[in-house]
Amino acid sequence: MSQAIEQTRVLVSGCGSIGKRHIANLQALGLSAITAVDPDKSACMEAERKLGVRIAVSFEEALRERPDIVVVASPNHVHMEQALQAAKVGADLFIEKPLSHEMTGVNELLTYVEQNRLVGMVGCNMRFHPAISKIKEVLSEQKLGKVYSVQAEFGFYLPWWRPGKDYRENYGARKRTGGGVILDAIHEIDALWWFFGPVRQAMTLSQKQSDLEIETEDVAEISLRFANGVLGHIHLDYLNRHYARNLKIIGKQGTLEWDWNQEFIRIFREGDSPAEEYAVPARENPNEMYRDEMRHFLSCVAERKTTICPIEDAAEVLSVAMSAKRSSEMVPQ
């Protein structure tokens, strides 16, 4: 990192697991002027003890010191409020996914970002997974020809997501904090939007199927029609006892398959012909994706250029997710 970036003053809002991860990665990338804030004082004390960061009394007080960058890693339902406050004081923004839990305030934020020429990014770390990057490249080079359809799946048992934390206390378990698997697992919607562009129609069936002690949907079946004609289907759940994340893309010239639990992407062409395989380097430490995305963001801040996942993109992805949620609410239970 450049000396200018190393001297950058960063405010991290949220000292939960993702907030502490971002703090540690910022430190690993050479930044030391980091202030953290969280209404949970025990979380603040842990961040101060383990990471040595300065703790602010409140988000508003910390903003008065005019940080150069604000990392919003708070619960979904306060993302927009804090992002707007930070944008108004001219801070560049890294907002953890999803952008928000509703569309209110999104256009106002986009206006501030444009007017103040801010660098903005929403943290969709899956865009930095080597398999997702390679699939993007394959599609950009049209190696599958015309794409007809795509299927994506994500599932994992919610109580196992964050070891040591009661899942019932997580924002994903409550409606008012923007929980539910559709927003919590927005990576799949984001990846397909990145691959295929704008969505014209979203239809969803979702509901709470299990006996998990949550208020939100734990299963969602989302069907999408993209503007370019591609049809998509996404399965999301909080219930799978085996971590599942996979993709199948069917095109005129081949079918691509990828599974998180395998170290390659396969493209099937004709009949019994051997599949083309693209090696996907195993990542023993998933944190590499988070560090790569933060490194990318800091580079864009230094060069004043657009990030791989600007706030405008994240606003479109959020709009798709909210359309999916509204579609499900219109279906009689």
As a whole number, mean pLDDT of residues 154-180 equals 90
Where in the chain is CATH 3.30.360.10?
127-285+318-329
Rounded-to-integer distance, Cα 315 and Cα 107, Å: 9
Q: Spell out where the chain has E strands.
A: 10-13, 34-37, 54-55, 69-72, 92-96, 120-123, 147-155, 199-207, 219-226, 231-237, 244-251, 254-259, 264-268, 276-279
Rounded-to-integer distance, Cα 114 and Cα 135, Å: 31
The share of the chain scoring above pLDDT 90, in percent, equals 87
Q: Which residue type occupies 319?
A: S
**Predicted local distance difference test score (pLDDT) of residue 169:** 87
Rounded-to-integer distance, Cα 293 and Cα 308, Å: 9
pLDDT tens for 79-127 read: 999 999 999 999 999 999 999 999 999 999 999 999 999 999 999 999 9
Rounded-to-integer distance, Cα 42 and Cα 48, Å: 10
**253 and 276 Cβ atoms separated by less than 8 Å:** no
pLDDT tens for 122-151 read: 999 999 999 999 999 999 999 999 999 999
As a whole number, mean pLDDT of residues 277-304 equals 91
Tokens 């993109």 belong to residue: 313
pLDDT tens for 9-65 read: 999 999 999 999 999 999 999 999 999 999 999 999 999 999 999 999 999 999 999
Query: How would you label 241-251 residue by residue, b for 16+ Cβ within 10 Å and e otherwise?
Result: eeeebbbebbb
Rounded-to-integer distance, Cα 233 and Cα 249, Å: 11
As a whole number, mean pLDDT of residues 293-300 equals 98
As a whole number, mean pLDDT of residues 324-332 equals 79
**134 and 310 Cβ atoms separated by less than 8 Å:** no
Confidence band (pLDDT; 50, 70, 90) for 284? low
pLDDT tens for 224-274 read: 999 999 999 999 999 999 999 999 999 999 999 999 999 899 999 987 788
- Comparing CA positions, the residue from 224, 270, 232, 223 lying closest to residue 148 is 232
**231 and 246 Cβ atoms separated by less than 8 Å:** no
**245 and 260 Cβ atoms separated by less than 8 Å:** yes
The values of phi and psi at residue 121, to 5°, are: -150, 140
Q: Which residue type occupies 242?
A: H
Name, in order, each residue with C-beta under 8 angstroms of 122's C-beta and a sequence gap of 6 or more.
94, 95, 96, 97, 98, 99, 309, 310, 311, 313, 314
Q: What angle do CA 74, 94, 54 make, to 5 degrees?
A: 65
CATH class of 127-285+318-329: alpha beta
Where in the chain is CATH 3.40.50.720?
3-124+289-309
**Predicted local distance difference test score (pLDDT) of residue 163:** 82
Phi-psi region of 321 (alpha: psi -120 to 50; beta: other; left: phi over 0): alpha
The CATH homologous superfamily of the domain defined by 3-124+289-309: NAD(P)-binding Rossmann-like Domain (3.40.50.720)
Record the pTM: 0.94
Entry field: residues in the chain: 333
The answer on pLDDT for 68 being more than 90 is yes
Rounded-to-integer distance, Cα 78 and Cα 94, Å: 14
Q: What tokens were used for 12?
A: 């991290």
Residue 155 Cα distances to 81, 138, 169, 236, angstroms: 30, 25, 20, 6
**121 and 221 Cβ atoms separated by less than 8 Å:** no
Q: Characterize the bridge pairing of strands 254-259 and 92-96.
A: unpaired
Segment holding 172, helix H or strand E: none
The share of the chain scoring above pLDDT 70, in percent, equals 97
**Predicted local distance difference test score (pLDDT) of residue 286:** 84
